[in-house]
Amino acid sequence: MSTVANQTGAEAPVKKEKLLEMYRRMQMIRQFEEQVNELYTRALMPGLAHLYIGEEAVAVGICEALNVDDYITSTHRGHGHCVAKGASPDRMFAELLGKEAGYCKGKGGSMHIADPATGNLGANAIVAGSAGIATGAAFSAKHAGKGQVAVCFFGEGALGQGVVYEVMNLAALWKLPVIYVCENNLYTEYTHFSETLAGDLLQRGTAFGVPSEAVDGQDVMAVNNVAKRMIARARAGEGPSFLVCNTYRYTGHHVGDINREYYRSKQEEQEWKTSRDPIKLLTKWLTEQGHASTEELSGIAQEVAAEMKAAVEFAIASPYPAIDKVAQDVYA
């Protein structure tokens, strides 16, 4: 797999505003997830959550290229996609705590946040469970003819599920505007992907008539560039694409996965954190290129920190749904 585009090879110049917005969204995801971990550790969060830390450049690079009425589907590791598509942290935290003010009135929780206002069709706790939904949204988009696209995020573990190939085939036959984004963070739970996936990942798209590329998922500008191309193809009626983003999750499979040495080394984790951190890489590039000063950037980080703190407090202070809400929303 080759990296098709990188920072230096950026195709069209991106406005400073956009660049800083990408930086901010990446900070938001990082800090959101740190708060989630904190909530878990303080036993304030029911159940578990799967953190996106380390993978921020993927969600942000892609969602920056989308319009608000474009669709995304997300996964069990979905907070990053939500934030990148424009969701508010306060209502996300409320959802994670099972509160009435949450995006799903507390009924969904971490793995099911959905938000029509930002085109988020929902996270999904079934691996590959949203492949059909995203393809169906692209089907609607094609019928509506307004140029919308759908992005289907999934981990490389989802490549084990046959339904992914069924819908890729359909999308290719019908030229549907859908981009299948595989976040290859090397592990499916506690197993390295090389133990569970044979053959070549990119061929898994091309074999079904879906043009496929790989990109360095730590490089937000590279992700953004290739995303723009794929989205343009989709909007132009030229059909689906498959994008493999090579990335890494810094923490455990879920917040409770603390002892990881039986499946990956501390050294490996350290290497990614030190030399391939997407926020560090973007910071370096922004400052080196003169797009922003270190102060500007740390100012943004601080703003985000304040926002997250307020958002968590809002969620903690929010009430649970009334018990009689339990039987509502089963049928529309």
Ligand X SMILES: Cc1ncc(C[n+]2csc(CCOP(=O)(O)OP(=O)(O)O)c2C)c(N)n1
Q: Measured at CB, which residue is nearest to ligand X? A: 155
- CA dist., res. 97 & res. 115, Å (int): 17
Q: What is the DSSP letter of 15?
A: P
- Nearer to a second copy among residue 165 and residue 314 (C-beta): 165
- CA dist., res. 53 & res. 79, Å (int): 10
Q: Does 51 bind ligand X (CB under 6 A)?
A: no
- Contact of residue 191 among other proteins, ligand X, Mg ion, none (CB under 5-8 Å per partner type): other proteins
- Contact of residue 79 among other proteins, a second copy, ligand X, none (CB under 5-8 Å per partner type): none
Task: Please work out the total of residues on this chain that contact ligand X, with binding judged by CB under 6 A.
Answer: 15
Residue in 1, 169, 235, 257 binding a second copy, rule: CB under 8 A: 169
Q: Does 163 bind ligand X (CB under 6 A)?
A: no
| 190 CB neighbour count, 10 Å cutoff | 12
- CA dist., res. 115 & res. 106, Å (int): 13
CB of 205 to a second copy, least distance (A): 8
Those residues with Cβ within 8 angstroms of residue 302's Cβ, 6 or more apart along the chain or in another chain:
none
- Nearer to other proteins among residue 168 and residue 220 (C-beta): 168
- Contact of residue 2 among ligand X, a second copy, other proteins, none (CB under 5-8 Å per partner type): none
- CA dist., res. 95 & res. 93, Å (int): 5
Residue in 43, 198, 323, 332 binding a second copy, rule: CB under 8 A: 198
Place of tokens 């922003």: 292
Site for other proteins in 64-93 (CB under 8 A): 71, 73
Tokens representing residue 111 in the block: 């793995």
Q: Give residue 107's identity as a one-letter amino acid code.
A: K
Question: Is 50 in contact with 33 (CB distance < 8 Å)?
Answer: no
| 310 CB neighbour count, 10 Å cutoff | 13
SS3 assignment, position 278: helix
Site for other proteins in 136-175 (CB under 8 A): 136-141, 143-144, 150, 157-163, 166-167, 169-170, 173-174
Tokens representing residue 241 in the block: 């694409």
- Nearer to ligand X among residue 179 and residue 311 (C-beta): 179
- Contact of residue 217 among other proteins, a second copy, ligand X, none (CB under 5-8 Å per partner type): none
- Nearer to ligand X among residue 194 and residue 295 (C-beta): 194
Residue in 1, 20, 125, 163 binding a second copy, rule: CB under 8 A: 163
Tell me the CA distances in angstroms from 320 to 97, 110, 250, 325, 331, one per residue in order.
9, 15, 32, 10, 21
CB of 285 to other proteins, least distance (A): 35
- CA dist., res. 155 & res. 76, Å (int): 9
CB of 82 to ligand X, least distance (A): 14
CB of 172 to a second copy, least distance (A): 4
- CA dist., res. 266 & res. 281, Å (int): 21
- Contact of residue 77 among a second copy, ligand X, other proteins, none (CB under 5-8 Å per partner type): ligand X
Q: Does 287 bind other proteins (CB under 8 A)?
A: no
- Contact of residue 4 among Mg ion, a second copy, other proteins, none (CB under 5-8 Å per partner type): none
Q: Is 86 left (phi over 0), alpha (psi -120 to 50) or beta?
A: left
- CA dist., res. 64 & res. 66, Å (int): 6
Interface residues with a second copy (CB under 8 A) are 160-166, 168-169, 172-173, 195-200, 203-204, 206-210
